[in-house]
Amino acid sequence: QVQLVQSGAEVKKPGASVEVSCKASGYTFTNYRMHWVRRAPGQGLEWMGVINPTGGSTTYAQKFQGRVTMTRDTSTSTVYMELSSLRSEDTAVYYCVRGGAVAGTSSVFDYWGQGSLVTVSS
Amino acid sequence: DIQMTQSPSSLSASVGDRVTITCRASQGISNSLAWFQQKPGKAPKSLIYGASSLQSGVPSKFSGSGSGTDFTLTISSLQPEDFATYYCQQYNNFPFTFGGGTKVEIK
């Protein structure tokens, strides 16, 4: 069965960087894109970007351009999301979400990771 | 960016009620519309894609409709496990955007 297992909670100081990992299993890793979505306390869901695990190409939301980097390691079926220059507003639960076959044009989200809480506090 | 407006932002309903949530896109998105359910402390769960197609394993009490700019999610007979927050999402254009959410509470 498809599983996305994320790394644990992190506490970071303002200005620092954080890296969240998402290990996929139960399917062919390079066949599906992976998205990242976050939910800040009291807020709704926010899309951050997507990575194509086949070649590593990425598309980021304009809001995060210059601060977010998504990468992948095909040998371990793991995607990574690094967010830099952290501020208090980045405190949120970050989710990886499988979305859309690489071979197709659809971007339907189906399986979600369990979420990783990132707290930014001095 | 495409703005997704959900209404209502919250509602109170009883077990057995039929509930309808609406979602409006600021521009046409064809049928590239999904619905998700999120319970406190849990990851979102994918319910519907393509405006009206159920994800695998999702019970048929959930249904979706619409195309273009106006969409609805209907829960035919609300059960205790359905009390949650529901989000719509457009995936027609980057950046993908979500509605603000509808919290379904017990009356």
Distance from CA of A106 to the nearest CA of B (A): 8
The vertex-B69 CA angle with B67 and B70, nearest 5°, equals 75
**For residue range A76-119, what is the model confidence (pLDDT) as tens digits?**
999 999 999 999 999 999 999 999 888 888 889 999 999 999 99
**For residue range B31-67, what is the model confidence (pLDDT) as tens digits?**
999 999 999 999 999 999 999 999 999 999 999 999 9
Using an 8 Å Cβ cutoff, are A47 and A70 in contact? no
Does residue A4 surpass a pLDDT of 90?
yes
Closest listed residue to residue A94, CA positions, set A32, A5, A20: A20
- Which residues of chain B neighbour A3 with C-beta distances below 8 Å? none
Taking an 8 Å cut-off on Cβ atoms, the answer to whether B43 and A35 are in contact is no
Cα-Cα-Cα-Cα dihedral of B76, B81, B87, B88, to 10°? -30
Contacts of residue B43, defined as CB under 8 A and 6 or more positions apart, other chains included, come to A95, A112, A113, A114, A115
Query: Strand A92-101 to strand A32-39: parallel, antiparallel, or no bridges (unpaired)?
Result: antiparallel
Does residue A120 surpass a pLDDT of 90?
yes
Query: How far is residue A68's CA from residue A64's CA, in Å, rounded to a whole number?
Result: 6
Using an 8 Å Cβ cutoff, are A16 and A118 in contact? no
Taking an 8 Å cut-off on Cβ atoms, the answer to whether B46 and A109 are in contact is yes
- Which residues of chain A neighbour B87 with C-beta distances below 8 Å? 44-45
Using an 8 Å Cβ cutoff, are B33 and B27 in contact? no
Residue A62 CA from chain centroid, whole number = 15
Query: How far is residue A117's CA from residue A95's CA, in Å, rounded to a whole number?
Result: 9
- A99: its two tokens: 């979305």
Does residue B107 surpass a pLDDT of 90?
no
Using an 8 Å Cβ cutoff, are B62 and B75 in contact? yes
